[in-house]
Structure 1
Amino acid sequence: MEALAERLSRLDSRAEGAIRVVMFYDTLIRRRVDLPALARASAGLAECVAGIRLHGTGRTVRVAPDGRSASDPTPASTTVPITLDDEEIGVVWLERTGAPGPLDDALLERFAIAVSAVVERYEPARTTMADPALVELAISSGCDEAGRARALRLMGFGGAPPIHVIAVRSSLPLDQISALVCPGRLVRAATLGDVGVLLATTVDRARFPAGVRAGIAAAANLDQSWRWARTALRYTTHAHPVVHHDDLGALALFAQLPDEALRDNVDVAAVARLAARPEDLETLEAYCASGSLRRAAHHLHLHHSSVARRLDQIGGILGVDLTEPAGVLRARLALIALRLLDG
């Protein structure tokens, strides 16, 4: 291997050097080297520390030019993403103290390609985006258990602990969301229709980025988890964008009612009319969520007397007394039903 690599400083021309770099990494790929060997070879060729980091596992390899693990990290001078199946799965970099070498870009490009080849060959379960057909098979109610188990094995979940199913609505890429909420954990993602699906062994609810709505469930059966996750997604709001089905309790029963029955209810119809008066709807939601006039006023940044006047007017529109527990309960249930109708 050493015979294939000349020091970059000795190359006669940039073109010749680029060809030698390509040949060098092609040889490494043919020899089926692993990630540490790739890092060692790259560090030796570049005469500086070379590094690899995989997003899915958090695995990092840093090697000094002498082939030993590097300590005391320094800022990367040049970085290139590693892509596999159009997904960024990690990065490679050089830690050069001086100016970048004339062939650093070519070296890193081939370094990244070589890492991608190794990951595809030895670590197929490290990518996030899965075949939608496999995901759909795993969560389908019409799939037999043998087919479901095979789909899960193909996605890397063989023998994994209970799997969380997350239904997601967001304009952000699913792999980006997955990396945030399942750092260093096994996760698969796919888009089915207009809903994103994440399958994960663990999920950190606090790490969902702003603007993402997510329903989470972890039932005994994946098909039931999928139904529950979609139900939880229907209960999300701007104030509560992430909902776990377990936290719904008896409120989840409302999702089983036909939409027609919800629309025909007098309380739901009355609250729906408030949608034309955003301030009133926001006031009612704040009051029902907090259960307190003063807490609602604090949330709305209003004086409690102003909130009281609004609630008196809203109660007249709805035909309920919002100073009584029964009236508040009716309003809250109507808000939940309206949320379900809005989808």
Structure 2
Amino acid sequence: MDALVRRLSQLDTEAEGALRVVMFYDTLMRRRVDLPALTRASAGMAECVAGVRLHGTGQVIRFSPDGREASAPPPPAFSTTPITLDEEEIGTVWLERTGPSGSLDEVLLDRLAIAVATVVERYGPARTTMADPALVELVISADSDDAARARALRLLGFTADVPVRVIAVRSRLPLDHIGGLICPNRPVKAAPVAEVGVILATTVDPARFPAGVRAGIGATASPDRSWRQGRTALRFSTALQPIVHYDHLGALALLAQVPRDAARDNADVAAIARMADNPDDLDTLDAYCATGSLRRAAETLHLHHSSVARRLEQIGKTLGFELTDPTGLIRARLALTAWRLLDD
């Protein structure tokens, strides 16, 4: 290679410079540098600010030729080159010169773009939890083909051989905070989609969900199916059971398919609706349906069991059937669940 460089230098100094740029990036790739190191080295080589932006995550990296992160705003115009991977533009690289472009800028940007694509393909994007909502929507959409979904997953940092579970979330807490808690030290991405938080994770620890979060966890099926399951499970979440696995719903999941008008016209559901103005009765019925025991319901409500018994007797009269009867308990559970699903 050195002999070739010497021969080319005798013919064309620009060709020699271009070859040195190629060798420079070949060396960086052999060293398996990450994106910040790659950008920093490029800035030093170009003797101006170099930048990288990934569309999928919105990540922007800028370094000055002195090796420090660039803080000054970029000039209004500078040389740019797209980063392509599998014939798709995934980002942009650029050089921020205040004067005219250098003779080797085009070669340098081409090699930098190729190197960034290699790093992204090898390691995935930098480990950040929040992701581009459009990219996440591409993963969970039933309209996406397998190739587009696989490409989007790779750009988000997931490998093809690891199943991805989708979690639908409602919470005032930041999605990145929730994602980091339930899937520590493993790939996890989050984004808001259609007024619902979406978390893509390779593993989920339900015990690590913080208080105040309601979530529906889909199975490790295809991401689009897991997303539908997660949204369905989220509809079944309550204050007493805020985290719901779709797999644990069993036949209850069929209630989500009941037409709203049919559910609303059901006598038991209509009776629950008439109780909606009395939160104490609803809380009592919810606790009893969730525990199946008068005493455990009393413990949940922090009341004496005799007080809960009196409430349940009155609620039974409102509903028109005996709650302590096994059949009555089943009817109450189904009616309460169906009534809740009307609001989702």
Provide the rounded CA distance (Å) in 2 between the counterparts of 1:280 and 1:289: 14
- Runs of 4 or more off by more than 4 Å in structure 1? 31-35, 84-87, 109-113, 120-123
1:137-164 Cα deviation digits (max 9, x unpaired): 1111111112111111221223242111
Shift of 1:125: 4.3
Residue 94 of structure 1 corresponds to none
Contact kept, 8 Å, 2:263 with 2:269, in 1: the verdict is yes
Q: Give the equivalent residue in structure 1 for 2:88.
A: none
Report the more deviating stretch, 263-272 or 173-182: 173-182
Please name the residue that 1:312 is paired with.
Answer: 313
What are the ranges of 5 or more consecutive residues in structure 2 without an aligned counterpart? 1-27, 38-56, 61-66, 72-92, 94-114
Name the counterpart of 2:274: 273
> Would the aligned equivalents of 2:240 and 2:287 in 1 still touch at CA under 8 Å?
no
Once the two structures are superposed, what CA deviation does each residue of 1:295-330 show, in whole Å capped at 9, x if it has no partner?
A: 112222222222111111111111111121111111
Equivalence for 1:138? 139
Structure 2 CA distance for partners of 1:162 and 1:112, relative to 1, 3 Å = farther
Q: Distance in 2 between matches of 1:131 and 1:305?
A: 54
Question: Which sits farther off after the overlay, 202-211 or 151-160?
Answer: 151-160
1:3-42 equivalences under 5 Å are: none
Tell whether the 8 Å contact from 2:313 to 2:323 is kept in structure 1 after alignment: yes
Equivalent pair of 2:58/2:132 in contact (CA under 8 Å): no
Paired letter, 2:197? G
**1:172-206 CA-partner distances (Å, limit 9, x unpaired):** 22111111111111011111120111111111111
Query: 1:273 deviation in Å?
Result: 1.3
Q: How big is each residue's C-alpha offset from its partner over 1:47-78, in whole Å with a ceiling of 9 and x where there is no partner?
A: xxxxxxxxxxxxxxxxxxxxxxxxxxxxxxxx
Distance in 1, matches of 2:70 and 2:198, equals 29
Q: Is the 8 A contact 2:167 2:200 kept in 1?
A: yes
Change over 3 Å in CA distance of 1:133–1:321 after alignment to 2: same
Kindly provide the amino acid, as one letter, of the partner of residue 290 in structure 2. A
Relative distance call for 1:170 and 1:263 in structure 2 (3 A) is same
Measure, in 2, the Cα distance between the counterparts of 1:176 and 1:308: 41
The letter of the residue matching 1:309 is R
Deviations 1:69-122 (A, max 9, x none): xxxxxxxxxxxxxxx9589xxxxxxxxxxxxxxxxxxxxx95798xxx9xx965
SS of corresponding position for 2:224 = helix
- Partner of residue 159, structure 1: 160
Residue aligned with 1:276, SS: coil
- Separation of aligned partners in 2, 1:253 and 1:112: 56
Change in CA separation of 1:277 and 1:332 when aligned onto 2, cut-off 3 Å: same
* Contact kept? 1:162, 1:218, Cα under 8 Å: no
Note the C-alpha offset of 1:212: 1.2
In structure 2, relative to structure 1, the CA distance for the partners of 1:260 and 1:133 (3 Å cut) is same
For 2:177, what is the secondary structure of its paired residue? helix
- Higher mean alpha-carbon deviation, 130-139 vs 252-261, is at 130-139
Would you say 1:299 and 2:336 are equivalent positions?
no
> Aligned residue for 1:22?
none
- 5+ residue gaps, structure 1: 1-30, 39-83, 88-108
When residues 159 and 246 of structure 1 are mapped into structure 2, their CA distance, relative to the original with a 3 A threshold, is same
Q: Give the aligned CA root-mean-square deviation in angstroms.
A: 2.7
In structure 1, the partner of 2:246 is 245
Change (3 A) 1:309 1:112: farther
Q: 1:112 to 1:216 in 2, by over 3 A?
A: farther
Mapped to 2, the partners of 1:145 and 1:212 lie a distance apart of 32
Percent pairwise identity? 63
Residue aligned with 2:338, SS: helix
- Whether 2:222 is the aligned partner of 1:221: answer yes
Quick check: 1:160–1:201 contact (8 Å CA) kept in 2?
no
For 1:229, give the aligned amino acid: G
8 A contact 1:270–1:317 mirrored in 2: yes
What is the aligned partner in structure 1 of residue 325 from structure 2?
324
Alignment of 1:1-150 (within 5 A): 85=58, 110=68, 122=119, 124-150=125-151
SS at match of 1:210: coil
Distance change (3 Å), C-alpha of 1:303 and 1:171: closer
Letter in 1 for 2:315: I
Q: Deviations over 1:19-43 (max 9, x none)?
A: xxxxxxxxxxxx89958x98xxxxx
Query: Whole-Å Cα distance in 2 between the matches of residues 213 and 112 of structure 1?
Result: 41
Separation of aligned partners in 2, 1:127 and 1:296: 42
Distance 1:220 1:301, change over 3 A: closer
Taking structure 2 as the reference length, what is the TM-score of the superposition? 0.64
Amino acid at match of 1:320: F
Q: Which amino acid aligns with 1:295?
A: R
Q: Indicate the SS of the match to 1:323.
A: coil
1 CA distance for matches of 2:240 and 2:324? Answer: 24
